[in-house]
Amino acid sequence: MPNRPNPAKLNALQLKTLAILQELARSGVGMSEALDDGSVALNRLPRPHGDHFHVGAALVMAKDATGLGNPAVFNALHRKGLLTRAPDGRPALTAAALAYETGIDGDILHRSDH
């Protein structure tokens, strides 16, 4: 039996936000820090300049990132076990969040072809 798409039943805004947070966690470069429990703490959230912002090697349109400023989205991700707090209070993606297939990465994370 194949894996069920979107097993946590995230809505579109939650999926977009999770995809962006996953890219932040994977980009490293001062943006995130791996923790002993397998989660990844996020050092800071990106700020748009104009109509977009950069996350690692990807470009994200600001219109796709409205969930980053929405506490209800973060609360939903926390309730579903995908987001937690690092010991120092920073938001942290759980191991389950890092492995979660959003299926929308290619739609909102725009990468250069060169």
- 73-89 tens-digit pLDDT: 999 999 999 999 999 99
Buried b (16+ CB within 10 A) or exposed e, 9-29: ebeebbbbbbbbbbbbbbbee
In 3D space, the residue among 32, 34, 30 whose CA is nearest the CA of residue 20 turns out to be: 32
Sign of CA dihedral 98, 101, 105, 111: positive
Domains of the chain: 12-111 (1.10.10)
- 7-37 tens-digit pLDDT: 999 999 999 999 999 999 998 767 789 999 9
**Which pTM was predicted?**
0.90
